[in-house]
Amino acid sequence: MRSFRSQQDPECGIVTTGIPGQIEELNLDPSAPILPVQRTGRESISRFLRSETGKGWLTISPPLLYAMLLLIGPIIVIVANSFWSQDYLTIDRTFTLENYRAALTEPIYRDLLMRSLFISVTVAFVTVVLAYPIAWFVSFYGGRYKGLWLFIITVPFWSGYLLRILSWKVILGYKGVLNTGLMHLGVITEPLSSLIYNVNAVIITLAHSWAAFAILPLFVSLEKLDRSLLEAAADLGDGPVRRFLRITLPLTIPGIIAALMIVMIPTVGDYVTPKLVGGKDGVMIANAIQVQFGRASNWPLGAALAVSTMIIVSLVAGTIVLALAGLKRLLK
Amino acid sequence: MTTSPMIEIRNVDKNFGTFRALDTLNATIGEGEFFSLLGPSGCGKTTLLRMIGGFDDPSSGEILIGGRSMAGIPPNLRPTNMVFQSYAIFPHLNVAENIAYGLKRLRLGRAEEEKRVKEALDQVELSELGPRMGNQLSGGQRQRVALARALVMRPKVLLLDEPLSALDKNLREQMQVELRHLQRQIGITFVLVTHDQYEALSMSDRIAVMFGGQIAQIAEPKEIYQNPATRQVADFLGGMNFLTSSHLSVNGKNFAATLPGIGDITGHLAGKTISDPAKAIIGIRPERLRIVWEGETADPIVTGKVADRNYFGEVTSLAVNIEGQNQHLSIVETNDFGADDIPVGSDIRITYDRDAFIVMQG
């Protein structure tokens, strides 16, 4: 093996022409150093650019560049602001942690943040629980109408975001569709005032607004599920419920995580829905941030609130992802 | 096979819309039998297997397993287990968990469950792979895990849907031997779906050959090969020279015919009834024809010219034009005597075994 290698590999220091008697350069000294191939910097850069990885980076660099600029830029501005302070219209650029102290210890902000997290996590789970059966139905029973079903699901999104929220006002309002309908049926004698201007109204409206965003990733992960796995599970004795819990659910966890995150993360920062249907009990942290950047004119405090929210949301999101990944291991 | 019946298929039809996938199938598969469903793709063999497993329902007719009608019984309640063509290994579980999947429901207790899993792993020679994840296995390993996962349930019937078609040739041949061995060892009924005639011939106790949703013949491998019921069966299993005769006569258990360029031949009907001799066809396998080398004598003798030659390693196939006739004969000859060196265009003499001719309904 050794001799075979040395004839094959010129870097071993032995170069033969393969014809006996015509060995041009023979170095049999085993201690002879193996000369490393010297490459210039320019050579290695051009080599990198010609490699698959290099080509990949080259292809994505223009969008990557502007995405980074547009993403990182504002974040830097916000983070920088959060360590400054403002006196009416002038920004004092001396480093201070006062904004964070206020953001994290003032009861009003703490309550708003907790409520926002509660609302967004609840909305995410409610949306996913409601969206899963729809995605499941379309994927398993959509047949050749799958495309049509997905199209129908996106139809509400043709109207504006505000219109969707306002339509919930029409449904849930004091003299709204639900109240008048229930009164007409004789279920209630006077309109319920508990339907709108509270946390529940915010949750219902947001869950509806984000439904399609949850259905699509769930649909994709259900589509990817190999149907023969379900047949195999049936063959091995599992009825429909066990098949769902042991095969469908664990294998669609990635879709569930994606749907939860897609819904949860943006809803924390929503301030239009709470403003329109939340009343005073439905105010969320984003409303407070908006006020700081607007009427209260305290950008640094607003920035500190935004950064704190961002970090806490990331932590909550991470915890949910880890918990679901753990759940996947448990479902066997 | 004279054992008691395990699976009875009675007048089973299957329609997909207006397409008739299965047409009045009848078959009885014995206990402990290795039964193959053989046919080209689209002949309905997989549909029939899936019906036995409960994944499809017959449009009419019924299937009995162990004497019990299976109508309306879902797969999870049938005494069958299946090895899927795609193997359907659960990717989120490791090998041991895959095999234990069906056992969990039986609540055997941890010790018994582990014992059975270990036995199953040993049986398919995967003892080392228990902790490997389902999506990190090679094709052969997946096949073995699928087999172990089904066998560990101790089914009365094991259904195999083209289990070897995804494997390369050497592994496939090795697994054929192992599967046959395993079936004899555990003694349960195996129903194998395959489109590979050699696989069916080498592994099965009996074969059902299917074409276009119908069973053309059910018989033991040797019978199927030596005495195919129809031209289609003969054509699907190995090579066959088909010869037509204007003078075919049936006489008791024998037939006689005059073949142009070959002469008068006779043969056994071998249990077949030829209802319309005018449409019957006579056949002889290429390996039942032999070259008569120079200096040899033989009787009978057919003379002709070599029209084509194909080399297959251990054998050579020759196409011979019978002298004065518009008729090709295909011959397969071992290369021991130099059949691979016969030049195309040369004269050749052929002889045949007098009992080698068979007759089929066309």
Those residues whose C-beta lies under 8 Å from the C-beta of residue A104, and which sit 6 or more positions away, are: A110, A308
Of residues A7 and A228, more confidence is placed in A228
| CB-based contact B84 A247, cutoff 8 Å | no
Same domain, B197 and B73: yes
Same domain, B281 and B162: no
Same domain, B244 and B188: no
| CB-based contact A226 B104, cutoff 8 Å | no
Same domain, A75 and A172: no
Q: How far is A57 from chain B (nearest CA, A)?
A: 29
Choose among B246, B224, B245: nearest CA to B235. Answer: B224
pLDDT at B273 over 90: no
| CB-based contact B88 A239, cutoff 8 Å | no
Same domain, A131 and A102: yes
Out of A49, A68, A92, a domain closes at A92
Same domain, A48 and A139: no
Coil, helix or strand for B50?
helix
In whole angstroms, give the CA distance from residue B259 to residue B352: 13
The DSSP annotation for B298-356 comes to -SS-EEEEEEEEEE-SSEEEEEEEETTSS-EEEEEEEGGGSGGGPPTT-EEEEEE-TT-
Same domain, B28 and B156: yes
Same domain, B173 and B205: yes
Same domain, B258 and B143: no
- What is the distance of C-alpha B226 from the center of its chain? 14
User: Which 8-state DSSP code applies to residue B230?
Assistant: B
Q: How many Cβ atoms sit within 10 Å of the Cβ of residue A17?
A: 10
Retrieve residue B178's tokens.
């192992």
Same domain, A82 and A103: no
Residue A144's identity, in one-letter code, is: R
ipTM over 0.85: no
Measured N-to-C along each axis, helices A253-268 and A211-224 cross at an angle, to the nearest 10 degrees, of: 160
Same domain, A216 and A320: yes
In whole angstroms, give the CA distance from residue B322 to residue B297: 18
| CB-based contact B102 A246, cutoff 8 Å | no
In whole angstroms, give the CA distance from residue B41 to residue A7: 51
Q: How far is A309 from chain B (nearest CA, A)?
A: 35
In whole angstroms, give the CA distance from residue A63 to residue A71: 12
Retrieve residue B205's tokens.
């106790």
Work out the end-to-end distance of chain B between its first and last CA atoms, rounded to an integer number of angstroms.
29
Q: Report the residue from A237, A242, A250 with minimal CB separation from B92.
A: A250
Residue A138's identity, in one-letter code, is: V
pLDDT at A14 over 80: no
Q: What is the pLDDT of residue A37?
A: 57
Written in H, E and C, the secondary structure of chain A is: CHHHHHHHCHHHCCECCCCCCCCCECCCCCCCCCCCCCCCHHHHHHHHHHCHHHHHHHHHHHHHHHHHHHHHHHHHHHHHHHCCEEECCEEECCCCCHHHHHHHHCHHHHHHHHHHHHHHHHHHHHHHHHHHHHHHHHHHHCHHHHHHHHHHHHHHHHCCHHHHHHHHHHHHCCCCHHHHHHHHHCCCCCCCCCCCCCHHHHHHHHHHHCHHHHHHHHHHHHHHCCHHHHHHHHHCCCCHHHHHHHHHHHHCHHHHHHHHHHHHHHHHCCCHHHHHHCCCCCCCHHHHHHHHHCCCCCHHHHHHHHHHHHHHHHHHHHHHHHHHHHHHHHCC
**Enclosing H/E stretch for B249:** strand B249-251
Residue A235's identity, in one-letter code, is: D
Which CATH number fits the domain that encloses residue A273? 1.10.3720.10
Of residues B2 and B25, more confidence is placed in B25
Q: What is the pLDDT of residue B275?
A: 78
Same domain, B221 and B245: no
Q: How many Cβ atoms sit within 10 Å of the Cβ of residue B96?
A: 21
Given a contact cutoff of 8 angstroms between Cβ atoms, the answer to whether B263 and B322 are in contact is no
Which CATH number fits the domain that encloses residue B272? 2.40.50.100
Q: How far is B21 from chain A (nearest CA, A)?
A: 21
Same domain, A160 and A290: yes
Of residues B254 and A230, more confidence is placed in A230
Number of domains making up chain A: 2
Same domain, B104 and B63: yes
| Band (A19; pLDDT cuts 50, 70, 90) | very low
In whole angstroms, give the CA distance from residue A123 to residue B26: 58
Those residues whose C-beta lies under 8 Å from the C-beta of residue A120, and which sit 6 or more positions away, are: A206, A263, A264, A265, A267, A268, A313
Coil, helix or strand for B103?
helix
Those residues whose C-beta lies under 8 Å from the C-beta of residue A20, and which sit 6 or more positions away, are: none
Q: Is the dihedral of CA B322, B285, B42, B280 positive or negative?
A: positive
Out of B232, B247, B280, a domain closes at B232
Same domain, A115 and A11: no
Same domain, B134 and B184: yes
Residue B216's identity, in one-letter code, is: A
Out of B232, B253, B288, a domain closes at B232
Choose among B192, B225, B235, B234: nearest CA to B37. Answer: B192
In whole angstroms, give the CA distance from residue A51 to residue A48: 5
Same domain, B205 and B244: no
Same domain, A78 and A21: yes
Q: How far is A223 from chain B (nearest CA, A)?
A: 16
pLDDT tens, position by position, A144-197: 999 999 999 988 888 888 888 999 999 998 888 999 999 999 888 888 888 888
| Band (A223; pLDDT cuts 50, 70, 90) | very high
Same domain, A259 and A316: yes
Given a contact cutoff of 8 angstroms between Cβ atoms, the answer to whether A251 and B92 are in contact is yes
Coil, helix or strand for B16?
strand
In whole angstroms, give the CA distance from residue A157 to residue A164: 8
Q: What is the pLDDT of residue A311?
A: 94
- What is the distance of C-alpha A123 from the center of its chain? 15
Q: Report the residue from B90, B92, B102 with minimal CB separation from A237.
A: B102
Choose among B213, B217, B220, B256: nearest CA to B235. Answer: B217
| CB-based contact B76 A239, cutoff 8 Å | yes
Retrieve residue B37's tokens.
């469903």
pLDDT at A22 over 80: no
pLDDT at A324 over 60: yes
Same domain, B97 and B156: yes
User: B75 contacts in A (CB within 8 Å)?
Assistant: 231, 234-235
Q: What is the pLDDT of residue A31?
A: 56
Q: Across chain B, how many H-helices and E-strands are there?
A: 8, 21
Q: What is the pLDDT of residue A308?
A: 94
| CB-based contact B75 A234, cutoff 8 Å | yes
pLDDT at B3 over 80: no
Work out the end-to-end distance of chain A between its first and last CA atoms, rounded to an integer number of angstroms.
48
Q: How many Cβ atoms sit within 10 Å of the Cβ of residue A161?
A: 12
Same domain, A71 and A157: no
Q: For the ranges A55-59, A169-173, A304-308, B249-253, which has the lowest average pLDDT?
A: B249-253
Number of domains making up chain B: 2
Q: Average pLDDT of chain A?
A: 85
Residues of chain A in Cβ contact (below 8 Å) with chain B: 226, 228-229, 231-239, 242, 246-247, 250-251, 328, 332
Q: Number of A:B CB contacts under 8 A?
A: 61
Domain interval for residue B278: 239-361
Out of B212, B232, B252, a domain closes at B232
In whole angstroms, give the CA distance from residue A165 to residue A271: 12
Retrieve residue A171's tokens.
């449904």
| CB-based contact B76 A238, cutoff 8 Å | yes
User: A326 contacts in B (CB within 8 Å)?
Assistant: none
Q: Is the dihedral of CA A82, A86, A91, A94 positive or negative?
A: negative
Domain interval for residue A37: 2-92
Same domain, A219 and A292: yes
Out of A60, A92, A124, a domain closes at A92
Q: What is the pLDDT of residue B2?
A: 54
**Enclosing H/E stretch for B290:** strand B289-291
Strand partners, B303: B349
Same domain, B58 and B193: yes
Same domain, A85 and A135: no
Q: What is the pLDDT of residue A48?
A: 85
Residues of chain B in Cβ contact (below 8 Å) with chain A: 53-55, 74-77, 80-82, 84, 86, 88, 90-93, 97, 101-102, 104-106, 149-150, 153
Q: How far is A229 from chain B (nearest CA, A)?
A: 5
pLDDT tens, position by position, B118-163: 999 988 888 888 889 988 898 889 999 999 999 999 999 999 999 9
Around A57, how many Cα atoms within 13 Å sit in the side-chain half-sphere? 7
